[in-house]
Structure 1
Amino acid sequence: MLRVLLLLPIASYRNQDFLDAAHKLGVEVVSAADHCHQLAPQRGLSPILSLHFDQPEAAAAQVLASLGRRVDAVLAVDDAGVELAAVLREKLGLPGNAPEAVRPTRDKLAFRRLLQQNGLNCPAFYHLAGAAEARILAAQLHYPVVVKARRLSASRGVIRADDAQDLLQQVRRVSRIQSSADRDASELGLIVESFIPGSEHALEGLLKNGQLRVLALFDKPDPLDGPYFEESIYVTPSRLSGELQAAIADSVQRACAAAGLSHGAIHAEMRVNDAGVWLLEIAARSIGGLCGRMLRWRLGMTLEELILRHALGLPIVQPEPSDASGVMMIPVPGRGIYQSVAGLEAARAVPHIDDIRITTVPGQRIAPAPEGASYLGFIFSRAATPAAAEAALRSAHAELVFDIRPDVVLAKSTA
C-alpha cells in the first residue's frame, strides 16, 4: 500500500478533503500537525502531531524520529507547511521542490527581488526595516503604494496608502498585524511597493520536470483597488483573450524556473494591464480554503485527488473542460462574534448553485481584511457560461443574512 505523509495545520479548511481523497485512492496516511507542543503531551498526542511548521529543520527531525516505515510522498495541505514538506522530501530522497526554491515564494520581499533579477514585470518596491525608514521614504514615494506584511497570505496585512500621512498610518497598522501573526516580525520589516492597476486573475497548475500544466485560469471579477484587498469571487474559464492567457502561463512558467520550482502544485496570482502581466505571488501549493472544490467537474476528480495522484506517480486522466464554475469566499462584513446565518434554503435554491458551506461556527470571533484570516464560508456555482456562474454566486449571497454581534471588550476596573 502506498503511504503519504500529510502536513495538516489544525486551522486549515482543507484537511478533510485531502484525507477523503487519500481514502478514495486506498493510500495510507501518516498525519503530522501543529497542535500546541505544551498541550499535546497532556492529550496523549505523539511528537509528530505537535510540530512547529515555521521551524522546518527542527520539525523535520521530529518527523523523521517518529516516522517508522518509509513514505512515498510528503504533502503540505496549505501554505504553513510547504517549506517543511520540502525539507522532508529532500531528506527522504523524494521528488519535489528544494527548500531553497520554496523559500522565496513564502516571502513577498524575496519574491519581488526574484522577479526583478530575472527580468519579469515588477513594481518599484522598498524594504522597510523600521519606522524611521518609513518617515524618510514617505516623502520620496510616488503614490498610491501598497504596504504588505512579508509572509502573510489571503490579503492579510495588505493595505493601500494614497499619500505620505496615509503611508505612516498604514505602516503602523500592518506592523501590528504582522507582529500578531509572525514570531519573526521584528526581524522581517515590511515591503512597500507601487500599486499595480488592472484586472486580477489566478492560475492553478501542476509542475512536472519543470514544465507547467495549467489546470485552470480564474478571473476575479470584483475590482481589487483597495484600501483593502479581500478576495471574493473566482470564476473559470477566464474571459481573457487567448493571447493574454498564454502570456500569463508564460510568466508563471518563467517565474517558476527562476525560483527553481519544478514539481507539484502551483497557485499564482497576477494583475493584467496594458503593460502586460504582473505576478503578485506564486505559491508552491494549491489554491487555499475550500476553493478547489469548484474544479472537480473540470478535473474529473477533486483537486486533492489529482494532487495526491501527481505526488504518488499515479495516472491522471483529465476530461475535456465543459461548464463554467465559480466560488465566492463569503466576505466578513465587520468585526464581531458570529452567531448564525439565515436564508440558506433560498440561497441554495438559486439556479446554478452547486453547494454552500458555512465554515464559521457560532461564537467564533471574526474580522475582515486586513486583520482577518478567514471567511464566513464558500458558495459554489456551475453554469454554462462564466457570466452565469458569477451571477448565481451574487444572487445566492444576496439571500444570506448573517447575525454578527459586537465583540465587547470589558474595561479594567479602576477601583
Structure 2
Amino acid sequence: MDPVLIVLCAGRSEYREPMLARIAARYPLVLVSPDPPTWELPYVRDHVVVDQSDTAGYIAAAVAFADRYPVAGVFTYYEWCVEMAAVVGETLGVPHCAPAAAMRCRDKWETRTALRAAGVPSALSVLVDDVREASDAARAIGYPVVVKPRSLSASFGVSLVTGPDHLAAAFDRAGTSESNGPWEFRPGVLVEECLTGDEVSVDSAVAGGRVETAVYALKVLGYAPHFEELGHIVAAPELIVDDPALVHDIVAAAHHALGVDNAVTHTELRLTPGGPRIVEVNGRSGGDYISELGLLATGVDVGVATGDIAAGRPVTLDAGRPVTPGAARNRVAGVRFLYAEDAGTVDACEIDAAVAGAPWLERVVWLVKPGDHMSPTPGRRYFARAGFAVVTADSVAECAARMETVAAHTMIRTAVYA
C-alpha cells in the first residue's frame, strides 16, 4: 500500500479544488474535516469528520489514520490548522514544521518578537490589553497606526486609525474578532506602526531550512480604513518588486528567525520607502486563489510543492521555483473579488455580456446564489464576497485595469424582504 498524506481541512472547492486535485494525482490522500466531504470525495481514499473546535479530536483522527495506513506526511492550507499539522507531524514522526515555529506564524505578537530579536525589518508593534494601553501605544508610535487582532487572518478586524477619536472603536473591533477553529485562539490586540507602500506576498517552498521564493503577488486593497482585499496580481518576480533578490533575502531571514524549515508558506510584506518590511508569515500556502494564479501566470505550482514537502520528497525546481513542466512563464494573472455592497437576500449576480465575453476573462466563479443572505461588515467583508473573476494580461497595469473593468460591470443585487 502506498503511503498516504493526511489533509487537515480541504476548504472551499471554489478556491482549493484545483490544488487538491493536483496533489491527489501524485499522492494518495486521507482527509480530516469538520464537515462530511462532498467535492473532496474523488480525491481522498478515506475521511473522518471531527467537530471544528475539537483540537484533540483532530489529532486523534490523524493518529487513527496512522494505524490503518502507512503515512508519509501531513499538510494543510487552512489557517486554523497550521499548528495542528505541525503537532500531528511531530506525533507521527513524519516531515513537519516545528510546532513552536508554526505557533510563531499564527501569533502575530510572537512573529514580531522573533523578527525584532533577529533584526529582520518589520513593523514596530505593541501588545495591549485595554483602550488605555492602546492609546498610550498609539501616542508613542505616532498616528496613523494599525490596530489588529493578535491571531487571525484575511485582514479580519484590522483597521487604520488616523487619530485618537477612532481608536476605541478600532480596539473593540479587533478585540471582538475571533475564530472557533480547532486550535487555541490567542486573545489580544496589537497597535502597530503604519507601513506605507505597496503590499506584496511571496509564497515559498521551504525544505530542510532552504527557502525558495516561488510566487510573487501584488495585493490590491480597499474599503479604507480597513484593509479589505480586493484582489491579487501575480507575475514574474521582477514585475512585482524592484529587487527580487533583496525580497528573497528578507523572506528567508524571516523564516530563519521564526524557525520555519519545512512548509509551503505565504509571507506578506510592505515595500516601504526605506525598503521591504515583513507584515506577517503564514505557515501555509496563500489563499484567495493565489496558488492558481501562480500556475496560470508563471508555471509555478505550490500545490505540487506542498505535497512534495509534506512527503519529504525533493521539490521540483526551475530557477529556484517549483514549476509545472511546459507551462507558460511570461503572463500576468489577477483575481478580483466581487463584493455585495448592501445587506439582504441575493436576487441576482451578473456581469455585462460585453465583458463576460472578453478573451482575457479566464473565469468567473460565484460564491453565492439567489436566496443566500449577505451581510457586509466593516473589517470582515471577506464574508460578503459574492464571487471572483480571474483575468490575464501582458502587464501588471493592464491586469489591474481589467480587474476593475470586471468589477465596474458586475451587478450583485440584494433585497430586504419583510
- State the match for 1:193 in structure 2: 192
1:326 to 334, 350, 353: 334
Q: TM-score w.r.t. structure 1 length?
A: 0.85
One-letter amino acid of the structure 2 residue matched with residue 195 of structure 1: C
3-state DSSP of counterpart to 2:156: coil
Question: Is 1:271 aligned to 2:270, yes or no?
Answer: yes
2:373 to 353, 364, 368: 364
3-state DSSP of counterpart to 1:151: coil
Q: Is the 8 A contact 1:332 1:368 kept in 2?
A: no
Distance in 2 between residues matched to 1:184 and 1:19, nearest whole Å: 26
- State the match for 2:40 in structure 1: none
Shift of 1:306: 3.8
- State the match for 2:396 in structure 1: 386
Shift of 1:82: 1.1
- State the match for 1:340 in structure 2: 348
- State the match for 1:400 in structure 2: 410
Distance in 2 between residues matched to 1:224 and 1:343, nearest whole Å: 21
- State the match for 1:411 in structure 2: none
3-state DSSP of counterpart to 1:60: helix
189-198 vs 359-368, which moves further: 359-368
- State the match for 1:110 in structure 2: 110
Alignment of 1:208-287 (within 5 A): 208-220=207-219, 222=220, 226-237=224-235, 238=237, 244-287=243-286
Distance in 2 between residues matched to 1:105 and 1:30, nearest whole Å: 25
Distance in 2 between residues matched to 1:295 and 1:241, nearest whole Å: 13
Distance in 2 between residues matched to 1:76 and 1:63, nearest whole Å: 13
Distance in 2 between residues matched to 1:279 and 1:407, nearest whole Å: 46
Distance in 1 between residues matched to 2:392 and 2:240, nearest whole Å: 22
Shift of 1:188: 1.8
Q: Is the 8 A contact 2:234 2:240 kept in 1?
A: no
Deviations 1:86-144 (A, max 9, x none): 11111111112111111111111111111111112232221111344335545555101
Question: Is 1:353 aligned to 2:361, yes or no?
Answer: yes
Shift of 1:351: 3.5
Structure 2: gaps spanning 5 or more residues: 37-45, 318-322
Deviations 1:313-368 (A, max 9, x none): 26636257222222222344344443321126443312311111112233133425
Deviations 1:247-289 (A, max 9, x none): 2111110000111111221111110122111111111111113
Q: Is the 8 A contact 2:53 2:181 kept in 1?
A: no
Structure 1 pair 108–355 and aligned structure 2 pair: CA distance change class (3 A): same
Distance in 2 between residues matched to 1:300 and 1:16, nearest whole Å: 18
Structure 1 pair 240–2 and aligned structure 2 pair: CA distance change class (3 A): same
Number of residue equivalences = 395
344-353 vs 167-176, which moves further: 344-353
Shift of 1:19: 3.6
Q: Is the 8 A contact 2:175 2:187 kept in 1?
A: no
One-letter amino acid of the structure 2 residue matched with residue 84 of structure 1: M
One-letter amino acid of the structure 2 residue matched with residue 236 of structure 1: V
371-380 vs 109-118, which moves further: 371-380
CA RMSD of aligned residues (A): 3.0
Distance in 2 between residues matched to 1:180 and 1:173, nearest whole Å: 17
One-letter amino acid of the structure 1 residue matched with residue 379 of structure 2: P
- State the match for 1:43 in structure 2: none
205-214 vs 385-394, which moves further: 385-394
Q: Is the 8 A contact 1:159 1:170 kept in 2?
A: yes
Question: Is 1:134 aligned to 2:125, yes or no?
Answer: no
- State the match for 2:169 in structure 1: 169
Deviations 1:189-238 (A, max 9, x none): 21111111111111111112212212221223x46693110112322225
Structure 1 pair 236–184 and aligned structure 2 pair: CA distance change class (3 A): closer
Q: TM-score w.r.t. structure 2 length?
A: 0.84
One-letter amino acid of the structure 2 residue matched with residue 96 of structure 1: H
Distance in 1 between residues matched to 2:189 and 2:83, nearest whole Å: 21
1:376 to 374, 381, 386: 386
- State the match for 1:41 in structure 2: none
Q: Is the 8 A contact 1:207 1:213 kept in 2?
A: yes
Distance in 2 between residues matched to 1:121 and 1:332, nearest whole Å: 37
- State the match for 2:43 in structure 1: none
Distance in 2 between residues matched to 1:138 and 1:115, nearest whole Å: 21
Q: Is the 8 A contact 1:48 1:66 kept in 2?
A: no
Distance in 2 between residues matched to 1:341 and 1:390, nearest whole Å: 22
What is the percent sequence identity of the aligned residues? 22
Distance in 2 between residues matched to 1:217 and 1:395, nearest whole Å: 23
Alignment of 1:64-103 (within 5 A): 64-67=63-66, 68-103=68-103
Q: Is the 8 A contact 1:22 1:308 kept in 2?
A: yes
128-137 vs 187-196, which moves further: 128-137
Shift of 1:32: 0.3
Distance in 1 between residues matched to 2:82 and 2:416, nearest whole Å: 36
